[in-house]
Amino acid sequence: MPQSAQHEIADDRYGQLAESFVLCRKQSLALCDGLTAEDHMIQGAPFASPPKWHLAHTNWFFATFLLTPLGQHPSVPDSWHTLFNSYYNGLGQPHARAERGILSRPALPDILAWREQVDEAVLLSLREGHFDEAQLDLLELGIQHEMQHQELLLTDLLFSFSRNPALPTYSPTADSAPASSAPQDWHRFEGGIVQIGADPKDFSFDNEHPQHRHFLEPFAIANRLVTNGDYQKFIAEDGYRDPQWWLSDGWETVRREQWQRPLHWVDGDRIFSLRGVQVLDPLAPVCHLSGYEADAYARWAGCRLPSEFEWEHAAQALAPPKQPSDRLMEVNHPGWFGSVWQWTQSAYGPYPGYRPDTGAVGEYNGKFMSSQWVLRGSSFATPHPQRRLSYRNFFYPADRWQFTGLRLAKSVCTT
C-alpha cells in the first residue's frame, strides 16, 4: 500500500480492529471449551453444522477474502478451500452442506493450528499497516461474520445434542433468555413516515442499507415477549389441532412433522436447553418457534406479528440503542435485545436502492432474499456488538432450531 494511503487511515482503526479480531477469535475457541473431539464432529441435521466446521469456515473466510489476495495466507491443501466454503459459488463448488459431519479429516488440531497461522498473518499485517481501507472493511466484515457463527455454533450444537437420548449438557452455567413478570400491555404509535435502516457511520451488513423512508399505518405493539406460560394456553386450547389459526403452508408443516409443541420442549413442563433439561419457566419468553407457529399464536391471540418496520420504529422509540453499553440497554429495556429473536410478518427482501457488495463477498446476503421471513432484535446467544437496532436476521418460516420467539402487534383503528 502506498505510504500516503497508509497515513490517510486513522491509527486507532488498526488498533480497534486488532483488538476486536483477537477478542472474537478467542471467543470462538472459548465456546468450544469442554467439547470433546467427538462433539466437534456431530451434525444432527443438514442445517446444523459441526463445531469444527464453524471454526474452519470462519478461518477460511479470513484466508480467502483477506489474506489470499495479498499472497499472505498460510499454505494449506487445496481441498480445504472446497471443504470449508459455505455457499460462495463464485469461488467454486462448495462441499455438500449435509455432509459436513463426515469430515473427520482434517483433524481438529490441524484446524486449530491453521487458525493460529491466520491469526498471526492478520495481526502482523495490521501492525505493519499493510491493509488499505477496503481491506480493513473486509477484516471488519470477517469479524462480524465470525460473531454470527458463534451464535450458530451454539444453536447447531444444541440441536445436535437434542438428537442424543441422553440429552447432554453443554454447560450448566450457559446463558439463557431472561424471564419477565411484567403484565402484557400495549404501546401505541400513530404511524406516518419513518426512517428505516442502518446509520452509515457504524458497521452494518449490506442488507441493512440504504436508509430510506417507510410509511406506517397506526399500530400497537406489546411491551413484552410472549412467554412460555402464554404459549401453554395456546397448546391447551388445541392450537396445534385447529387449522383456522394456521397459514396453509404452516398447517401442512404441522401435519407432516406432527408438531405438538415448540422444539426442545421435552413435554409440557420441561425444556431442553444449553444447560440440559430444565423445568419450563412460565415467565421466560417462549423459544424455538417457527414463523408458522409464531403467526398461528398471534392469530389465536387476536393479534398479528409486527412488520419489521413497525418493530424497528417501536424499538427505536422504546429501547434506544445509544446507551453507555449494550448490557445497560438490555437491563433498562428487557426483551427488545438479548433475549430471543422476534419473528416479523415481513418477507426478507431488498430495501429500496439496495446494492450488494461487489465480488464473491456480495453473495453474503443478497442471494438469500427469497421465501424467508425477517426476524429482529437478537437472542441471548447473539454477541453483544451485533445486538443492534437495524440488524435483519432471516430464516425460512418452518425453521425453529434458532432461539426464536415473538412479540405481538395489532392494527389500530383511527375511525
Q: Are residues 143 and 195 in the same domain?
A: no
Q: Does residue 210 sit in helix, strand or coil? A: coil
Distance CA 118, CA 114 (A): 6
Q: Does 271 lie in the same domain as 154? A: no
pLDDT reported for residue 4? 39
Q: Which residue has the cell 486513522?
A: 10
Distances (CA, A) of 230 to 184, 282, 301, 378: 10, 8, 10, 21
168 domain residue, yes or no: no
Report whether pLDDT(360) > 70.
Answer: no
Whether 106 maps to a domain, the answer reads yes
pLDDT of 66: 93
Residues 210 and 353 in one domain: yes
Question: Is 72 in the same domain as 155?
Answer: yes
**Quick one: 155 and 222 in the same domain?**
no
E strands, 61-185, in order: none
- Alpha-carbon distance of 390 to 322, in angstroms, equals 13
Query: Does 198 lie in the same domain as 142?
Result: no
CB atoms within 10 A of CB 82: 14
Residue pLDDT, tens place only, 321-358: 554 344 544 544 568 999 999 999 999 999 999 988 77
Contact 50, 40 (CB under 8 A): yes
209 and 354 assigned to the same domain: yes
181 part of a folded domain: no
- Residues 201 and 55 occupy one common structural domain: no
Mean of per-residue pLDDT scores for the chain: 92
* pLDDT digit string, tens, across residues 105-134: 999 999 999 999 999 999 999 999 889 999
Residue 63 lies in a domain: yes
Taking the C-alpha atoms of residue 343 and residue 398, their distance in angstroms, rounded to an integer, is: 12
Cα separation, 368 vs 196, whole angstroms:
20
DSSP string, 246-258: S-HHHHHHHHHHT
User: Does residue 414 register a pLDDT over 70?
Assistant: no
Peptide bond into 183 cis (omega under 30): no
Residue 335 CA to residue 278 CA, distance in Å, equals 21
Domain count, the chain: 2
Counted residue by residue, the chain has a size of 415
Which of 130, 162, 194 terminates a domain? The answer is: 162
pLDDT of res. 363: 62
The more confidently predicted of residues 63 and 1 is 63
Strands (E), 335-392: 341-347, 373-377
Domain co-membership, 151 together with 16: yes
Query: pLDDT of 243-300, one tens digit each?
Result: 999 999 999 999 999 999 999 999 999 999 999 999 999 999 999 999 999 999 999 9
Residue 133: inside a domain:
yes
More confident residue, 200 or 54: 54
Q: Assess whether 109 and 212 both reside in one domain.
A: no
Q: What are phi and psi of 193, to 5 degrees?
A: -85, 125
7 and 124 together in one domain: yes
pLDDT at position 59 is: 96
Strand, coil or helix: 366: helix
In a domain, 176, yes or no: no
User: Do 84 and 232 fall within a single domain?
Assistant: no
Summarize pLDDT for 230-241 with one digit per residue, the tens.
999 999 999 999
Residue 370 sits in which domain range?
186-411
With 70 as the cut, is the pLDDT of residue 410 above it?
A: yes
CATH code, 215: 3.90.1580.10
- pLDDT per residue as tens digits for the range 62-113: 999 999 988 887 788 889 999 999 888 888 889 999 999 999 999 999 999 9
Q: Is the residue at 38 inside a domain?
A: yes
pTM above 0.85, yes or no: yes
Domain final residue pick, 162, 195, 220: 162
Percent of the chain with pLDDT over 90: 81
Cis peptide before 397 (omega within 30 of 0): no
Helix (H, G, I), strand (E, B) or coil at 200: coil
Q: Is residue 27 part of a domain?
A: yes
